Structure 1
Amino acid sequence: MQPEYKAIARQSLLFSSMPEEDSEMLLANAHVTEYDRGQTIFLQGEKATAIFIVVSGWAKLYRIAPSGTEAVVGVFTQGRSFGEALAFRGDVYPVSAEAVTSLKLMRIEADDYLRRIRETPEAAISLLASTFRHLHSLVGQIEALKARTSAQRVAEFLCELSNAEEGPCEVVLPYDKILIAGRLGMKPESLSRAFARLKTEGVQIKQNLAKIEDIEHLRVYCEEDPAQAWTR
């Protein structure tokens, strides 16, 4: 395991509060696998036996409804983990996972982590923290669907991708627009309309690049009352 991969894993919530000795033992047995864009990581219905941490790239979790429609549950990038709770229950995955870009993924066997939990409470605390973050993220997605316009959801997505605190900035869209639409709970045509709506808020989209005139203004727009956002 390369030192930089271990450093990324230790920054994740799954390991950030764990003693170094425990994390070192777990990471010693972990391994990193490379995936091409579009390659399957696991399928809905497979037995969950491992935890995954994204080393580089993007991965998506999605579920196929009986109608055949794909619903994007989550999209994860460097330092984010997934698969924790189900792996520890020995359950099956209720979703599928796929690489949406070139991807490096760290795999940690659930049995190895369970052994550390039995030996040290800090490992359990790390697991709870990671599970809480996933739950908090899902609650945030539901809140956005219920309480924000499509344009506000897209604006928040762009703000999350930006490291700028104020002024103009550029954001590279990390994956294709169809996936962005699925991640934000809208159809591709609704995403196109949202991009058009954001022009009045100083956002220009050219292929996979978003040019933002004032990131602070865009953050304020995200928090506006939806009724006001619709009428502006």
Structure 2
Amino acid sequence: MKSSLPEAVKKSVLLNSLNDDMRDRLLRDAIRRSYAEGETIFLQGDPAKAVFIVLSGFIKLSRMTPSGTEAVVAIMGRNRSFAEAMVLRGTPYPVSAEAISDCTTLQIDGTRLRQLLLENPEFAIGLLASTFIHLQGLVDQIEKLKAHTGVQRVAQFLADLTAQETGPCEVRLPYNKRLIAGNLGMQPESLSRAFARLREHGVKVDSSKALIDDIAQLRLLAQD
């Protein structure tokens, strides 16, 4: 793949510390692939042969619990990469990956990734940074589950959908409410109750968007 890369690739934590030559070497055999909503990318237990960068859309990472229910581990959006640790360790994917919207990924060959890692300490540091961001995301998720109420978690989720700091705004829900609930560690009925409670704080949610009277007040609610 040539150095004229999508901006999502250049901004990904996995690659943004590399110079053009190193990127070209790593991405020489990279495959750009599109998936339709609902399509499986890989299954829990499959051999980890590639690292993925999300170019567009959203991907759900989930595990099946011993009781047979699905646990949503993460929702990965544009610029995010995943499966680095599994590829480096040579272990199977511990989660399944499914497109929850039409999406496009860049798939990086695991053998080439390991080779470049051994040859270049600069790239090794960048990969450690990528792994740390994934870990920090899990720590933040656990903190929110333990320390924040359901209403606060939903408020933070909505606030994160916009860069606007003050005043009224409208945000589009990026995926369906069942997935939002799973990503926030909630049951769908608990999410519905949280949406209802947010009406008291100037937030009206319909099937695909939320109207927010004052985004600054919503951010304060999420942090209380």
Which amino acid is 2:175 matched to? Y
Q: Matched residues in 1 for 2:196 and 2:98: separation?
A: 29
Mark the CA change 1:144 to 1:4 in structure 2 (over 3 Å): closer, same or farther: farther
Q: Matched residues in 1 for 2:101 and 2:85: separation?
A: 25
Q: Matched residues in 2 for 1:100 and 1:26: separation?
A: 28
CA RMSD of aligned residues (A): 1.2
Q: Matched residues in 1 for 2:27 and 2:73: separation?
A: 27
The residue aligned with 2:127 is 127
Which amino acid is 1:71 matched to? A
Shift, 1:19, TM fit: 2.1
Shift, 1:2, TM fit: 7.6
Shift, 1:10, TM fit: 1.4
CA contact (8 A) 2:3 2:20 kept: no
* Structure 1 segment 147-166 matched on structure 2, within 5 A: 147-166=147-166
- Deviations for 1:108-159, whole angstroms, at most 9, x for unmatched residues? 0111111111111111111111100000000001000000000100010111
* Structure 1 segment 38-187 matched on structure 2, within 5 A: 38-187=38-187
Q: Matched residues in 2 for 1:2 and 1:217: separation?
A: 46
1:161 counterpart SS class: coil
1:166 counterpart SS class: coil
Q: Matched residues in 1 for 2:131 and 2:218: separation?
A: 30
Which has more helix, going by share of residues?
1
- Deviations for 1:183-230, whole angstroms, at most 9, x for unmatched residues? 000000000000001111111002111011111111111111xxxxxx
Give the TM-score, by structure 2 length.
0.97
Structure 2 portions without partners, runs of 5+: none
CA contact (8 A) 2:45 2:92 kept: yes
CA contact (8 A) 2:51 2:81 kept: yes
Q: Matched residues in 1 for 2:12 and 2:160: separation?
A: 17
Q: Does the alignment pair 1:14 with 2:3?
A: no
Which amino acid is 1:33 matched to? R
CA contact (8 A) 1:10 1:23 kept: no
Shift, 1:3, TM fit: 6.6
Identity of aligned residues (%): 50
CA contact (8 A) 2:2 2:24 kept: no
Q: Which runs of 4+ in 1 moved over 4 A?
A: 1-5
Which amino acid is 1:90 matched to? G
Which amino acid is 1:41 matched to? I
1:15 counterpart SS class: coil
